[in-house]
Amino acid sequence: MKMTASRGTSYSAPSGFLIVDKPPGITSHDVVQHIRRVLRFRKIGHLGTLDPIGTGVLVLAVGKSTKAVKYFINDDKVYLTTLLLGVATDSQDTDGKIISEAPCPSFPLEEVERLFRQFKGEIQQIPPMVSAKKVHGERLYQLHRKGIEIPREPKTVFIRRIEILNVNLPEITFLVECSKGTYIRTLCSDIGEKLGVGGCMSRLCRLRSGFFCLRDARPLRLLERMSPEQVTSLLLPLGVAMEKRMRGEKS
């Protein structure tokens, strides 16, 4: 299949994986729409949603590579995140409506580290109402917009690594390596609740999804200034991606 570029030349239909450095304030679907306009091509999906507040690695599957999403979507993720203590919101991040506030005492570092260790390994999470999870065919965030809250079954996720990088109360910045489907917002909220003051996520950056890492990502604003041919040249071919995954490459 040939496609027509802006200068009247033709090029083959794009196929492969594009690693985008997502900016904050837009949805993952917004990013897909932007790249569809750049490539003038609609067959594009992604390998896992990032919250609007989130930045970093958002992997797009283009063309024939969309058929291989199932081989990559379950890979572990790595996030850099900041927990804001003393503030709880309905979305479990600072984009949401504040539902409670409490003063944040000066917790001893040893107490904080001991609590964080409790979240390593297999844990249970209750999906937040502000999420894309479907219940009875309707997404939870759609129900939330209608003012409806329903019981959600807890789900099992796995935290492979959780490491505190900086404590500057009321904020704690930490690194998380986790299984697919882990809600980092919920992790922040649960930690805040365990500390007795509540908490929410104030920043989130995905550093890695499987072997796709941030150092190889291109900012969306840069990709939007490129021609279809230039963006197509950045696509990682499906065969190369499959080989990297089989070798278990990580950044």
Distance, in Å, from the CA atom of 202 to the CA atom of 55, rounded to the nearest integer, reads 12
The domain 82-160+179-204 having CATH identifier 3.30.2350.10: the answer here is yes
Predicted confidence (pLDDT) per residue in 93-105, tens digit: 999 999 999 999 9
Contacts of 138 (CB under 8 A, 6+ apart): none
* Nearest Cα residue to 171 out of 126, 201, 208: 201
Task: Render the burial of 233-251: b for 16+ CB within 10 Å, e for the rest.
Answer: ebbbebeebeeebeeeeee
Q: Can you give the pLDDT at residue 153?
A: 83
Element (H, E) at 244: helix 238-247
pLDDT digits (tens, 9 = 90+) for 208-249: 999 999 999 999 999 999 999 999 999 999 999 999 988 876
Look-up: residue for tokens 């993720």?
A: 77
DSSP string, 100-137: EE-------HHHHHHHHHTTSEEEEEPPPSSSS-EETT
Catalytic residue among 51, 75, 95, 190: 51
Q: Which residues contact 148 (CB under 8 A, 6 or more apart)?
A: none
Q: Is residue 210 classed exposed, middle or buried when 0-12, 13-18 and 19+ CB atoms within 10 A define those classes?
A: buried
Is 90 part of the annotated catalytic residue set? no
Q: What does the pLDDT profile of the chain (251 residues) look like in tens digits?
A: 555 554 455 557 899 999 999 999 999 999 999 999 999 999 999 998 999 999 999 999 999 999 999 999 899 999 999 999 999 999 999 999 999 999 999 999 999 999 999 999 999 998 876 666 666 666 666 655 666 676 778 999 999 999 999 999 999 999 999 999 999 999 999 999 999 999 999 999 999 999 999 999 999 999 999 999 999 999 999 999 999 988 876 65
- 139's tokens: 């997404």
Confirm if 52 and 24 have CB atoms less than 8 A apart: yes
CB 57 within 8 A of CB 78: no
Contact in structure between 47 and 67 (CB atoms under 8 Å): no
Within 10 Å of residue 101's Cβ, how many Cβ atoms?
Answer: 12
Q: Which CATH class is domain 2-74+210-247?
A: alpha beta
Domain boundaries, the chain: 2-74+210-247, 82-160+179-204
Q: Residue 93 CB: number of other CB atoms within 10 A? A: 25
End-to-end CA gap in the chain: 35
